[in-house]
């Protein structure tokens, strides 16, 4: 039906016009991606799966941030704080209330959404840089509370460490499938949540709510003139975004045996911003590509370094002392180069590649 060479929009019915993926190629690619995702655990060992699970959690968090920053244009330097609220809401509710893991993750999402709305209140009057620094304030305050407020961390179990220990979570009550121990069990859970989040987010931007978000990003005063209530939709953007980030935080908590403030610092906020910038602002696919890129980058550098240094112990030691700086420097460089040469990110590169093959042998 759909021709091999697509050279225009030829929708004949409203139904086909409303489809998310109208062409055969697009559907084929999505099937391939699903097959690839399902096949991964059968190919990779548990060490690699741990990194893959990191990617899955990061992708969920990045989609959440992208709804707020990429689609609605509200810059947030407080992603780490939102993740922390999610993770601690999930962890504390399983410790104090004895919630099962699934309930604690849902609880975390709602708590984080409420927190996000609270942080979103100043956004009505603040814009751009002022809002960015206000979210930085949220980041600092949450971090301070975690470090200094005793009931939140080690005081519960009487240990001296500043970490919150989380009880074991079993998938379907099966003792084999411990979420924090069995990478494969967690992978399928994470993948399911990611799939739900992707479907929800993609469809969000086909509704009037999503379009209102984009209108606010492009020109908020014009949006207001057209009848978009800035207060309601900005708060809604904060709530929806933090809901998803809270899911990521909750998953993070249940995946770990212990959580502590080091995993929710300003650097984490910056990493997530880097994901959506490098992946592509205001795209769902871009959030995922960005998450893959940012999580894999330090690992790839490590592997590359190992390959270069070989087995010589002296050079391995020299390399190991240099590695953190190399990782940090390349991370920074990736952000700068992406912004200068491809501000629309990996998503745009990928689209260019697809267009090249789709239109071959013509240029456009």
Partner 1 sequence: MDADLLLKFIRLTYTGFSEGALLGLIALGLVLVFKSSDVINFAHGEFMLLSAYVVYQVMLWLQGAGVTDLLLPIALLIGVLAMVGLGVLVERLILRPLIGEPVISVIMVTIGLTNILQAIVGAVWGVNPQSLPTAILPIEGRFEIVIEGARRPLFLPYEGIFMVVIVLLLVGLLMLFFRRSKYGIAMRAAADDQQAAMSMGISIKTVFAFAWSLAAIIAGVAGLLIANLTNNVSGDIDNVGLRAFPVIILGGLDSIPGAIIGGFIVGMIESYASGYIDPSLKNVIPYIVLLVILMIKPYGLFGQKRIERV
Binding site for partner 1 (CB under 8 A): 69, 73, 75, 122, 125-130, 132-134, 136-137, 140-141, 143-144, 147-148, 219, 221-222, 225, 266, 270, 273-274, 277, 281, 322, 324-326, 328-329, 331-336, 339-340, 343
Q: How far is the CB of 221 from partner 1 (least distance, A)?
A: 5
Q: Are 290 and 304 spatial neighbours (Cβ–Cβ below 8 Å)?
A: no
Of 87 and 278, nearer to partner 1 (C-beta) is 278
Q: Is the peptide bond before 6 cis (omega within 30 degrees of 0)?
A: no
What is the Cα–Cα distance from 51 to 41, expressed in whole angstroms? 12
Minimum distance, C-beta of residue 28 to partner 1, in the bound complex (Å): 34
Rounded to a whole number of angstroms, the minimum distance from the CB of residue 363 to partner 1 is 25
Q: How far is the CB of 94 from partner 1 (least distance, A)?
A: 28
Based on CB atoms, which residue is closest to partner 1, 172 or 341? 341
- To partner 1, the closest distance from the beta carbon of 333 in angstroms equals 6
Residue matched to tokens 């399983």: 94
Which one, 90 or 242, has the nearer CB to partner 1?
242
In the complex with partner 1, the residue whose CB is nearer, 93 or 143, is: 143
Nearer to partner 1, 223 or 251 (CB): 223
Q: Give SS3 for 352.
A: helix
Q: In angstroms, what is the minimal distance from the CB of 193 to partner 1? A: 27
Q: Which is nearer to partner 1, 1 or 129 (CB)?
A: 129
Q: Quick check: helix, strand or coil at residue 164?
A: strand
Q: CA 242 to CA 263: how far, in whole Å?
A: 17
Q: What angle do CA 7, 9, 11 make, to 5 degrees?
A: 135
Q: Which two tokens stand for residue 175?
A: 């003792």
Pairing mode, strands 164-165 and 258-259:
antiparallel
Helix axes 284-309, 183-204, angle to 10 degrees: 140
Is 54 within 8 Å of 186 (Cβ atoms)?
no
Q: Closest by alpha carbon to 81, among 241, 297, 264, 350?
A: 264
């Amino acid at each position: 039906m759909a021709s091999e060479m697509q050279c225009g929009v030829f929708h004949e019915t409203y139904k086909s016009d409303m489809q998310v993926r109208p062409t055969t190629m697009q559907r084929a690619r999505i099937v391939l991606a699903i097959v690839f995702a399902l096949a991964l655990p059968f190919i990779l060992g548990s060490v690699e799966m741990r990194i893959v699970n990191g990617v899955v959690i990061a992708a969920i968090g990045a989609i959440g941030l992208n709804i707020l920053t990429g689609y609605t244009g509200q810059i947030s330097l407080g992603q780490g704080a939102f993740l922390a609220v999610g993770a601690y809401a999930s962890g504390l509710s399983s410790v104090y209330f004895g919630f099962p893991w699934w309930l604690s993750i849902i609880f975390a999402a709602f708590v984080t959404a409420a927190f996000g709305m609270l942080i979103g209140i100043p956004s009505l009057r603040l814009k751009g840089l002022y809002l960015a620094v206000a979210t930085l304030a949220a980041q600092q305050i949450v971090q301070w509370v975690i470090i200094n407020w005793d009931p939140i961390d080690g005081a519960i179990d009487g240990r001296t460490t500043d970490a919150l220990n989380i009880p074991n979570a079993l998938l379907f009550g099966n003792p084999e499938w411990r979420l924090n121990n069995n990478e494969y069990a967690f992978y399928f859970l994470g993948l399911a949540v990611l799939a739900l989040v992707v479907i929800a987010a993609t469809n969000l931007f086909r509704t009037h709510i999503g379009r209102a978000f984009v209108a606010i990003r492009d020109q908020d005063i014009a949006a207001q003139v057209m009848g978009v209530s800035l207060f309601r939709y900005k708060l809604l953007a904060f709530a929806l975004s933090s809901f998803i980030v809270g899911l990521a935080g909750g998953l993070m908590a249940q995946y770990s045996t212990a959580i502590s403030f080091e995993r929710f610092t300003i650097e984490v906020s910056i990493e997530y911003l880097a994901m959506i910038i490098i992946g592509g602002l205001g795209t769902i696919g871009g959030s995922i590509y960005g998450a893959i890129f940012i999580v894999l980058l330090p690992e790839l550098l490590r592997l590359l370094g190992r390959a270069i240094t070989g087995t010589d112990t002296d050079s391995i030691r020299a390399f190991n002392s240099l590695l953190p700086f190399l990782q940090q420097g390349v991370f920074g460089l990736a952000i700068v180069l992406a912004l200068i040469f491809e501000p629309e990110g990996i998503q745009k590169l990928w689209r260019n590649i697809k267009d090249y093959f789709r239109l071959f042998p013509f240029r456009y």
